[in-house]
A and B are shown apart, each in its own frame.
Chain A
Amino acid sequence: MSSIDLRGQIRVLDGNRAGAYGVLLCKPDVIASYPITPQTPLLETLYKFEAEGLFDPEMVEPEGENSAMGTLIGACAAGGRTFTATSSQGLSFMNDAYLLAAGNRFPIVMAIGMREQVSPHGVISGQQDAVLVKDHGWIQIYTESCQEILDSIIMAYRLAEDEDVLLPVNVCYEGFYLSHHSQRVEIPRQEEVDAFLAPLKGMNRLKWTLEEPMVFSSYTVPPELYTEYRYKMCMAHQRAKAKFDEIDREFAAKFGRSYGGQIEEYRTEDAEIIIVTMGCSTGTAKVVVDRKRDEGVKVGLVKIRMFRPSPKERLIKVLNGKKAIGVIDRNVCYAWNCGHNYIEIKTVLSDLDRPLPVLLDFIAGLGGADITDKHVEKVVERTIDAAKGKTYEPVTWLSLE
């Protein structure tokens, strides 16, 4: 095997390997992860890097995901930079440690190679695993391309370890459609990333040592203190939003690539209708937006990058005055019989000026199903019709048609 040190080169990498290069460039102190499809090749690549001496983290092989997160909680308490990755049932198995990490404000970065949850059983793409934990206190970034996975991991460390934030961050990418999709990727040089992460060195961080032991996750706190913890965590999430926009701008200046921060606004300015996407179907949807623009349709697209915390202010700004919004959801919410971003956007509607835009939801891409340009064309056409005042279905299960 030829050298796998591809830093500074332009290569073809799938999402897992692109993510692994992102991790390599950020030089974590401790990695603890348990393999699960479709995340496994990311972990394998990290082990190859370590075996070839490209970096020297403490590599812990735990017996399961819960222990993986437990290990990182300890490492983070000692002031370390940490990384793990998981998918689907692995994330479920990790759940209580996952909550602990957020509640203790440990800035762990974790990739999620998104996959459907049981049952029915399926080693197949979806977003259900990651959206299920939307109120567990983690920041969640969703990505569209392999390049964006790599870049978002670097940005995730800047966000997580910022002393104004100190929250764990998920970088989410769809299993197979990105994890196993090989794309042209520019791998930054090490010194570029070192310089980008340098501001973190001067940041305040709790550090547990044998000389100065501390108690984390204390069993009994009075309700006032408990509430204060919760309040402070909510405030940290709110601060993370503008901070992420700043980090994106700085990243663009240094690396020449920008993703818009919390959301990407694509041809939205004069748009009358907006398509909302999250994840890798965004690319396909942008192609359709361009096609429809050529036909004279005033359509734009909003990509949700930061799903948690909610990019509320940015959404209000971009959606105000639009006639109709079509949401594509690769996940489901049983309670409301729709997808999760439909609920998010519906919540934002109450803050918009009257007349409110019409809102439609399209559930697609579940269980590994493809989201094609033909699907997105349907979404655009029906959203246009709804904007014109025609009757419409609020929620459509697109893949069942």
Chain B
Amino acid sequence: MKEIRLHGRGGQGVVMGAEMLAYAFVLEGKYASSFPTFGAERRGAPVAAFLRFDDKPIRETHQIYEPDCVMVLDPFIAKSDTIYIGLKGDGIGILNTPKKAIDYWPQNLKRLGLIDATQIALEEIGRAIVNTCMLGVIAKVTGWVRLESVISALEMNFEGKLLNKNAELVKRGYENVEIFYKE
């Protein structure tokens, strides 16, 4: 089983993104589950969501404290070291940031994906909603899920023109992420 923790802000599509990613795994015949941290829903407030996937049924219902991968949708939250709390050894970090490098490598972080998803989202849909773009990014950086599965999972929430635009966002995320390895 692999565990992913997503960070972002209310309104950025963190929860919906996690659910679409779960569906992408299920489309590949795997088992997956996702859920958000709970509280009063507030636009702009920091939120986290959790995702598990495995080849066999997932029974755990508790929150994720030791993720294999941390993905951050909000550039300001990406500045905080606390996002890496509990990250397992050889861990993966994925950040939405305009930066081309990070200042230092936190302990346990082995692989890092950087992308300016906000800029891509603004170009494609005119709004800074980056969840779908980041699904393409995580597919590329981790290799855990196929690009086609992620695009197929979009139809859970989109259709028509919006589906096409978000599919384009996924692809651009997949193609444009820069991947770095700790030496």
Look across to chain B and name the residue whose beta carbon is closest to the beta carbon of A279.
B61
How would residues 29 to 56 of chain B score, 1 for a CB under 8 Å from any chain A CB and 0 otherwise?
Answer: 0011111101010000000000000000
Interface residues of B in 42-93 (CB under 8 A from A): 57-63, 65
Please give the number of chain B residues whose Cβ is less than 8 angstroms from any Cβ of chain A in the complex: 26
- Closest-CB distance, B83 to chain A (whole angstroms): 19
* B124 adjacent to chain A (CB < 8 Å): no
- Looking at the assembled complex, report how far the CB atom of A5 sits from the nearest CB atom of chain B, in whole angstroms: 14
Chain A residues whose C-beta falls within 8 Å of the C-beta of B31 in the assembled complex: 184
Instruction: Specify the chain A residue showing the minimal Cβ separation from B52.
Output: A183
| Structural contact, A176 and B61, CB atoms closer than 8 A | no
User: CA A12 – CA B157 in complex, angstroms?
Assistant: 12
Report the minimum CB–CB distance from A300 to chain B (whole Å).
Answer: 15
Give the Cβ gap from A349 to chain B, nearest Cβ, in Å: 29
> Is there contact, CB below 8 Å, between A180 and B22?
no
B156 touching A12, Cβ below 8 Å = yes
Q: Which of chain A's residues 117-171 have a Cβ closer than 8 Å to chain B? A: 123-125, 145
Interface residues of A in 271-293 (CB under 8 A from B): 280-281, 283-284, 286-287
Which residues on the A side are within 8 Å of B158 (C-beta)? 2
CA distance A177 to B59 in the complex (A): 12
Q: Is B174 an interface residue (CB 8 A)?
A: no
A172 within 8 A of B: no
Are B38 and A183 in contact (CB-based, < 8 A)? Answer: no
Shortest beta-carbon distance, B14 to chain A, in Å? 13
Say whether B61 contacts A178, CB under 8 Å. yes
CA distance A12 to B24 in the complex (A): 9
Q: Is the CB of A12 within 8 A of B61?
A: no
- Check B35–A180 contact: CB distance below 8 A: yes
A2-B159, A182-B34, A184-B31 known; A371+B19 contact, CB < 8 A? no
Q: Are the C-beta atoms of A368 and B62 separated by less than 8 Å?
A: no
Smallest CB-CB separation from B34: which chain A residue? A182
Asked whether any CB of chain B lies closer than 8 Å to the CB of A58, the reply is no
Does A372 interact with chain B (Cβ within 8 Å)? yes
Complex-state Cα separation, A235 to B14, whole angstroms? 50
Chain B residues with Cβ below 8 Å from A11 are: 23, 26, 156
Q: Kindly list chain A residues whose C-beta atoms are within 8 Å of the C-beta of B26.
A: 10-12, 184
Can you list 26 A-B pairs with a CB-CB distance of less than 8 A?
Answer: A1-B157, A1-B159, A12-B22, A12-B23, A12-B26, A12-B34, A123-B40, A125-B38, A176-B35, A177-B35, A180-B36, A181-B34, A181-B61, A182-B19, A182-B33, A182-B34, A183-B22, A184-B31, A184-B58, A283-B58, A283-B60, A283-B61, A284-B61, A284-B62, A371-B62, A373-B62
B residues apposed to A, CB below 8 Å: 18-19, 22-23, 26, 31-36, 38, 40, 57-63, 65, 155-159
> B-contacting residues of A (Cβ < 8 Å)?
1-2, 10-12, 14, 123-125, 145, 176-178, 180-184, 280-281, 283-284, 286-287, 368, 370-373
Other A-B pairs beyond A12-B26, A181-B61, 14, CB < 8 Å = A2-B156, A12-B22, A123-B40, A124-B38, A125-B38, A182-B18, A281-B62, A283-B58, A283-B61, A284-B59, A284-B61, A286-B59, A371-B62, A373-B62
